[in-house]
Amino acid sequence: MKPKSQQSTFHEQSERAKGDASFSDRFGEETNFASRGRRQPFLLAAAEIQDDFWSDYIRLVREVVVPYQWEVLNDRVPGAAPSGAIRNYRIAAGDEEGEFYGMVFQDSDVAKWLEAVGYLLGTAPDSELERAADEVIDIVARAQQPDGYLNTYFTVKEPAGRWTNLAECHELYCAGHLIEAAVAYYNATGKNRLLDVVCRYADYIGTVFGTEPGKLQGYDGHQEIELALVKLYHATGEERYLKLSQYFLDQRGAQPHFYEKELQQRGGTVHFPEISVTRDYAYSQAHLPVREQAAAEGHAVRVVYMCAGMADVAAETSDAKLLEACAKLWRNIVSKRMYITGGIGSMAHGESFTLDYDLPGDTAYAETCASIGLIFFARRMLRLEPKSEYADVLERALYNTVLSGMSQDGKRFFYVNPLEVYPHAHGKNRLYDHVMPERQGWFGCACCPPNIARLLASLGQYIYGTQDRTLYTHLYIGSRLKWQLDDQHVLIEQNSRYTQEGTVSFRVVPESPVSFRLALRIPDWCGEAACLVNGIPLELDELVEDGYAVINRLWEAGDTVDLTFSMPVLRMKGHPHIRQTAGKTAIQRGPFVYCLEEADNGPDLHQIVLPEGSRLEASPEAQPAGGIPHITGQALRRGGDEWNGALYRSGVSGQSKPVEVTFIPYYTWANRGAGEMAVWIRD
Amino acid sequence: MKPKSQQSTFHEQSERAKGDASFSDRFGEETNFASRGRRQPFLLAAAEIQDDFWSDYIRLVREVVVPYQWEVLNDRVPGAAPSGAIRNYRIAAGDEEGEFYGMVFQDSDVAKWLEAVGYLLGTAPDSELERAADEVIDIVARAQQPDGYLNTYFTVKEPAGRWTNLAECHELYCAGHLIEAAVAYYNATGKNRLLDVVCRYADYIGTVFGTEPGKLQGYDGHQEIELALVKLYHATGEERYLKLSQYFLDQRGAQPHFYEKELQQRGGTVHFPEISVTRDYAYSQAHLPVREQAAAEGHAVRVVYMCAGMADVAAETSDAKLLEACAKLWRNIVSKRMYITGGIGSMAHGESFTLDYDLPGDTAYAETCASIGLIFFARRMLRLEPKSEYADVLERALYNTVLSGMSQDGKRFFYVNPLEVYPHAHGKNRLYDHVMPERQGWFGCACCPPNIARLLASLGQYIYGTQDRTLYTHLYIGSRLKWQLDDQHVLIEQNSRYTQEGTVSFRVVPESPVSFRLALRIPDWCGEAACLVNGIPLELDELVEDGYAVINRLWEAGDTVDLTFSMPVLRMKGHPHIRQTAGKTAIQRGPFVYCLEEADNGPDLHQIVLPEGSRLEASPEAQPAGGIPHITGQALRRGGDEWNGALYRSGVSGQSKPVEVTFIPYYTWANRGAGEMAVWIRD
C-alpha cells in the first residue's frame, strides 16, 4: 500500500481534476466515441496515472519534452538539428516565403507533437499548450489545398509530384499521423477544426485511391494511414474510413506491382538512392499480400505499424485470414526476432529485420519507434484476444527500449538502442555509425522523440482493457479508472509498487454493488504470485485464464485486492539458435532488463564473467530515480596474465579475479557520459 | 628424412634444371643483380622448391592459376566477371577500337600476371608461357605513349586527366606493378624489353614529380611504386629510382595537402564517391608524414605496401627515423591489429584497419592482398634485422590467410577471409555483404588472385636470407639453394616434413670445406626443439639469437642437420583486450590455425563448447591434400532444453551433451560447399 501522505496527494489531484468541468467530461471518453462507430469487440479504457515510477515520466513529457519539442519544431533550440517543420506549414499556408526544409516526412513531426498534446490535454487542462496547439492547427488548416490535399513537401517543393512516388515519399504516412493527431485532439478538447481538416483530406484520398477504374491502385511505402483511418472511423462513425484502411491493406503486395508501375511512370527517378526501396518490396512489406506474410521482413517500424492496422481491421471486420496473418507475424517477431529489451530490427541497413535468431547486440538497430510500434501492435492484439503474452511483450518494450530512448531529463533521445556499446570503436569501426554512445538533442530524422512523447502521454490508455463484463489489467501502473459498466461508473484505484517491489493493490468503488470479472495479468517474469481479496488469500492457480487471474464476484464499494509478485533476480538465457547470446546471461528483475556500465564496473566489460550460482541481489540502498534498485553481485574478471606484447598465446591460464559488479536497469544507461555498456554477460 | 623414392625424384629434377642452360644462369641471380646496385644490407636468396606441401601449390600456380588467369585477362572464361585488361592495352596500342573496361587500376592485373610468369620462368622454362608473356609485353610496349606515359585508363578514356587525381586513380600504383613485372621478367629471362619500357616510364615520372618548382608535389593514393622503384634500382643500379621512391615517401602527408590541392584544381570531382578518399587522408596513410605514423590506419593493403617501401628505402639509406617508423607500424599491426590467421583489416568500409584490439571474426575484411602485403613487409624487416618474429608473422599469414584465399583446385578465390561464417545470414543481414561463404571464380576488382599467384610463384625467395657469412632459414620448405659464398657455391638441400610433423633435415654441400653460420628459426608455436648435426645433438638454448639457433662451424660436403620441432595441438587465446575473442579458444598446430566447419560438425557451431583440458589430437588417418592432419576432440554441445517457442528464458540448466568435433586447417575451409565455419570456439 502507498503511504498515507501519497494517498492524500492522489485524492487531492483527483478532486482538482473533478473540479475542472471539461476533465470529467473527457474521462473515459474513448468508450463514448467508440459507441458512435461500429461496436468494437474489445475496448481499452483510459486511466489517469498516479504512480511512483511513471508520474515523473508523464510530468517530464508535459513539462519538458513537449515544450522542448515545440521549441525544436519552431527552430528555436540553438545547437539542435534544425527542424523547419512548423515553418514548412507556414510556407504552405502562404504566411511566409521560403523553401521546404527537411525530410519528405517532416510534417509528421508536427502531427506527432499535436497528438501528444491531445493526450496531455485529455488528462489535465493546460491553456497555454492548448493555445499553441490551436495556433498550429490554424496554420495546418490553412495549408490544406482547395481539394483537401495537405502535405507541405509536395505543396511547397514538388507541386507536380503528388502521388507519384508512394513507395518512398511518405504522403499517406504523413496523412495518417495528422489523422491520429486530429482524433486525439478532438477526443481531448472536443474541438473539431483539425478533425474536419483530416476528414476532408481522407475523403479526398478516397477519391484518389481505390480499385475503381481511374483511381490509383497504390498504397504507401510506410504504413501508418491504415491504423489512423480506423481511429478516424472510431471518432466519426463513418464506415468509409474503415473501408479505405481495408483497401490499403488489401492492395499491398498485389501484382502487377504498383511500385514498379509508378517507378516507370515517373521515369525511374528515386528519392532515397541509398536504399533500393522501389525495387526491394520486402523493405516495405509489399513483397506479398499482407495475408500471406508469415515472417517480419524489412523496415521494422513499417512491419509493426502495418500489423497494428491489420489487427484493427481484423477486429472490425472479423477477417479470420487477416487475424491469422497478425498472429503469424506476432509469433515470428516475439519468438525469433526480438531483443530481450523488446527492441526489434537487427540491422541498420534499411532499419530492418534480418533473419530468425539473428540478434547482434552491438550493431543492433532496435529503433525506439519500432518498439513503440510493437506496443501498438501488442495493444491491438490484446483487444482481439486478451492473452498475457501480448502484455508481457508490451511491458518489455515499454520498460526497456522505449524508456531507454529518452534521457532522464527528457531532453535527449536515442533513435537506436544497442545492447552493447564500446565507444572507442565508434567513428573508427564504421559498423557502428548508426549507434550513438550518448543520447542526442534532436535528429535530422526526428521520428523517435515525438513518438515517445505521444506514447507516454497516452499511457493511461494502455493499462486496462474491457470486454463485456471483464476488466483486464494489462499494466500495473498506479492510476484511477472510471469504468462505465451498466448504468454506473465503477472507480478502480490502483496503487502500485510493481516496478520496485512487485506489489499492487486495488480499491474498487462501484456506485452500487455490481458483479464483474477483474482479470489480473500474471507477468511472465514472476515466479510466484499471491492475491488477497479484502485480505483473504485466493488460490490463484485455479483462476488463471490465458495468463490472467480472473476474479469474478459482486464488487462492493471499498473492496480491495492485493497482489504480490515475487521479483527475483533472473538469469536470462537466449534461445540456443541465437548466435550472439550463446554462452551469455542477461539479468532481469521484474520488467526491467539490466546492464553493466563502465561507470560502475570499469572498462573492458567483456572481461567480466558471471559464474553460475554467484551471488546477485537487488540493492535497495542504491536506488536511482524511479526507485528501481541496482543489482550487485559477485563476478570474475579475466586478466592478470602477462602478455608481453603478444596478441595470441597458448597456455594461458585464464586466471580470473573476483570482482563486485553493479548492474543498472537498461533504460537508465548512458546518463553518465559515454562509456561501455553490455546487457549480455559471459557466463 | 624423405623416403628414397622422393629423393631421387628431387635429384632428377635438379639434373633436368641443370641441363637447361638458362636455368642455371638464373639460379641465385638476385644476388648477382643486387651487386650491380648499392650494397644491400641483407639479402634473400632464391631457392628451388621441392616440398611435400608446397610443390603441389606451385604446380597449381603454374598449371592452373596462371593459365586460368591468362584466359580471364583475355575475357575467355564464360561465367567469370569480365576483365578487359588485355583488351584495354590493345586499344591503347591502337590494335583495336573500343572503350576502356574495368576499374581505374585494371592494368595492374596484367602486370601481376606478368610478374608471376617471370617468377615461374625463373624456376623452370616454359616456352609457351614465355611466348604469351612476350606477346603481352609487345602490346604493353606499344601502348606506351611517346613521352613514356603508360596507363590504359587515362590513355583510352581520359587523356586529359593524367595526374589530376592521384588520391584515387592509381596511376602510380599501376606503374609500380608494371615495374615489378618488368624486373621479375628481366631477372628470369634476361629479356629487357619491358624493363626498358618501365625505365622510360619511371624516367618520365621523375620529370613529373618532385620538389623542384614546376613539378607536381604529389604521390599516389595507393602505395606500390615505392617498393617497385627500389626493385628497379636493384635491377638497374640506377640510384635515381631509389631517390624517386624516397621522394614519394617523403612527400606523403606533407602540408598543405596535395590531395586537397589537386581536388580543387580539378573542380572537386571524385572518382569513388562512395568512399571519401580525397578528404579522409588516413585512408591513404596521408594524414601524417610517414615517419610520424605510429599506428596502422586506413586501407590495410596500402599500409603494408607503404611499409614495405619504407623498409626498402630505410635499408638502402640507413634512415633511422624511417626504420623506427617501420618498427612502430609493425609493432602496432602484429601486437594489436592482426587476426590469428595473419589477416589484417577489420572492416569492410574502406577495406581498413579500425582500432587496437578490434578484431571481429564474422565481419572481418582480412583481404588476401593485405596478408600478402604483410608478407612483403615482414620479408623486408627480416632483411633489416633477422628476428624470428618477422618470419613467424610471415608464416602465419602465408599458411592461413594467403592459402585460404585460393581453392584447392586453384580456380576460385577469396578476397575477404572471415574467421566466422553463418551463410544463412548472408544476403539478409547486410553486415556480411562483403563476405562470401564460398570462393568466387573472379572478381570485378581482381587484385587478389594474381597477387596469390605472384607470391606463390616467388616463394623460393622467402625461404632463406643471408647476411655476411650467415645463412638464415626463415621458412622450412623442402628446397635446394645454391648459395654463393666466397668463391664457391654452397648447395643447401632442405628436406621438410615441417608442415606435417615438424621435422626438417638439411644437407650442406660446399665445393670445399667452408665456415659460415647456419641460422635456423625456432617457430613461435614450437614448445621444444631438437637439433642434430651429423647425428650429434646440440644444446639449442645456448645457440639462439633473436629466435634463430645459430650453428657456426666449418661445413664439409654431406654435413647434415636434423631439426625436430614439437607440434602439439595448441589452445590459443586472444589478448584480454580483444572483445571478440573473450571466452573463446582457437586451435593451432604448427603454423596452421584450425576451424570447425558445418560439413564435419553440423549446423549451429556457436553451440559447441570446448572445455578446458578436453581431449584434442591430430588425426593422422584423416589427412586431406597436403597431408595436414585434421584435429579431432571431445567437446560439448549445448541444447536439449525445451524452449516451447520462448526466445528468452530464466532457469535454463545450460545442459550440454558431449560431442566429437573435427577441426580442419583454416586454409582448407569452404571447399565443400557453403556452410558454417568458426575459428574461435567458446570455452
Q: How many CB atoms lie within 10 A of CB B444?
A: 11
pLDDT higher than 50, residue B11: no
Q: Scanning every residue of chain B, which has its alpha carbon at the shortest distance from the alpha carbon of A641?
A: B576
Contact across the interface for B650 and A571, Cβ inside 8 Å = yes
Q: How many CB pairs under 8 A join A and B?
A: 140
Hey, is the C-beta of B604 within 8 angstroms of any chain A C-beta?
Answer: yes
Q: Is A577 on the interface with B (CB under 8 A)?
A: yes
Q: Is the pLDDT of residue B451 over 70?
A: yes
Which residue from B425, B572, B573 is facing A355, i.e. has the nearest CB? Answer: B425
The C-alpha cell at A175 is 496523412
| A426 close to B (CB below 8 A) | no
A292 belongs to the catalytic site: no
Report chain A residues whose CB lies below 8 A from the CB of B588: 650
B7 pLDDT more than 60: no
Q: Does residue A666 sit in helix, strand or coil?
A: helix
Is residue A3 predicted with pLDDT exceeding 60? no
Q: Do B576 and A639 touch (CB under 8 A)?
A: yes
Q: H helices of A3-126, where?
A: 4-19, 21-26, 29-36, 54-60, 66-73, 85-93, 107-123
Provide the pLDDT for residue A443: 57
- Of the pLDDT bands very low, low, confident and very high (cuts 50, 70, 90), residue A441 is confident
The CB-side HSE value for A640 (13 A sphere, CA atoms) comes to 9
Cis before B523 (ω within 30): no
What lies within 8 Å, CB to CB, of B656 at 6+ separation is B609, B636, B637, B638, B639, B640
A447 catalytically annotated: yes
The reply to whether A528 touches chain B by the CB within 8 Å rule is no
Q: Report B:428-467 residues touching A (Cβ under 8 A).
A: 428-431
Tell me the average pLDDT across A545-563: 97
CA A432 to chain centroid:
24
Per-residue pLDDT at A44: 44
Measured from the Cβ of residue B238, the count of other Cβ atoms closer than 10 Å reads: 18
Predicted local distance difference test score (pLDDT) of residue A642: 79
For residue A646, the chain B residues in CB contact (below 8 A) are 335, 575
Are β-strands A514-521 and A470-473 bridged in parallel, bridged antiparallel, or unpaired? parallel
Whether pLDDT at A626 is above 80 = no
Mean pLDDT for chain A overall? 90
Residues B313-329: what's their mean pLDDT? 97
The rounded distance, in Å, linking the Cα atoms of A346 and B670 is 27
Amino acid A23: pLDDT: 27
Test the B interface: residue of A339, A388, A433, A573 with most B CBs within 10 Å:
A573
pLDDT, residue B26, reads 27
Inter-chain contact B431–A360, Cβ cutoff 8 Å? yes
**pLDDT at res. B45:** 55
* Residue A662 near chain B (CB below 8 Å): no
pLDDT value at position A14?
A: 33
- Name the residue of chain B whose CA is nearest to A365's CA: B429
pLDDT of res. B444: 54
Q: Which of residues 23-52 of A touch B (CB under 8 A)?
A: none
Q: How confident is the model at residue B447 (pLDDT cuts 50, 70, 90)?
A: low
Q: Give me the mean pLDDT over the B569-587 stretch.
A: 96
- The per-residue DSSP string of A511-544 comes to SS-EEEEEEEE--TT-S-EEEEETTEE--GGGGE
Query: Residue A622's pLDDT is what?
Result: 60
Mean predicted confidence (pLDDT) in B481-503: 95
Among the residue ranges A204-208, A410-414, A530-534, B481-485, the one predicted with the least confidence is A410-414
Q: Which residues of A touch B654 (CB under 8 A)?
A: 573, 612, 683
Cβ contact B577–A358 (<8 Å): no
Q: Give the separation between CA B48 and CA A390, rounded to whole angstroms.
A: 72
Residue A19 pLDDT exceeds 70: no
Q: Which residue has the cell 544476403?
A: B427
Residues B151, B153, B157, B162: what is their CA dihedral angle, to the nearest 10 degrees? -60
* pLDDT score of B619: 84
Q: What is the mean pLDDT of residues A254-274?
A: 92
Whether A579 sits inside 8 A of B335 (CB atoms) is no
Cβ contacts (< 8 Å) between A572 and chain B: which residues?
648-650
pLDDT band at A558 (very low <50, low <70, confident <90, very high): very high
Q: How many CB atoms lie within 10 A of CB B397?
A: 30
Cα B679 to Cα B659: distance, rounded to the nearest angstrom: 18
Tell whether B577 lies on the interface with A, counting CB pairs under 8 A. yes
Query: A327 with A342: CB under 8 angstroms?
Result: no
Quick one: average pLDDT of B619-639? 82
pLDDT tops 60 at residue A22: no
Confidence label for A46 from pLDDT (cuts 50, 70 and 90): confident
The reply to whether residue A355 touches residue B606, judged by beta carbons under 8 angstroms, is: no
Please indicate whether, in this complex, the C-beta atoms of A340 and B648 are within 8 angstroms of each other.
yes
Q: How confident is the model at residue A35 (pLDDT cuts 50, 70, 90)?
A: very low
Tell me the average pLDDT across B324-352: 97
Contact with chain A for residue B654, Cβ under 8 A: yes
Quick check: B525 contacting A, CB < 8 Å? yes
Residue-averaged pLDDT of chain B: 90
pLDDT of residue B81 exceeding 90, the answer is: no
Q: Which of A447, A448, A531, A595 is catalytic?
A: A447
Q: Do B648 and A607 touch (CB under 8 A)?
A: no
Measure in Å the smallest separation between the Cα of B54 and chain A Cα atoms: 26
Give residue A448's pLDDT band: very low, low, confident or very high (50, 70, 90). Answer: confident
Catalytic pick among B169, B307, B369, B447: B447
Residues of B in contact with A648 (CB under 8 A): 340, 572-575, 586
Test A425 with B355 for CB contact under 8 angstroms: yes
Q: What percent of chain B has pLDDT over 90?
A: 82
- CB of A643 within 8 Å of a chain B CB? The answer is yes
A656 touches B at CB < 8 Å = no
Q: A256: cis peptide before it, omega within 30°?
A: yes
Q: Which of B226, B262, B351, B676 is catalytic?
A: B351
Q: Which of B349, B572, B647 sits opposite A575 (nearest CB)?
A: B647
| Closest chain B residue to the Cα of A526, Cα to Cα | B650
Average pLDDT over residues A564-581: 96
Question: What's the Cα-to-Cα distance from B150 to each of A41, A625, B111, B425, B595, rounded to whole Å?
Answer: 79, 70, 12, 44, 45
C-alpha cell at B596: 570447425
Q: B459 vs chain A: nearest CA distance in angstroms?
A: 26
Q: What is the pLDDT of residue A45?
A: 55
Is A396 within 8 Å of chain B by CB?
no
Give the B window 115-174 contacts with A, CB below 8 Å.
none
In angstroms, what separates the C-alpha of A368 from chain B's closest C-alpha? 20
Cβ-proximal residues to B67 (8 Å cutoff; 6+ apart), any chain: none
Predicted confidence (pLDDT) at residue B376 exceeds the cutoff of 70: yes
Report the complex ipTM.
0.91
Amino acid letter for position A479: S
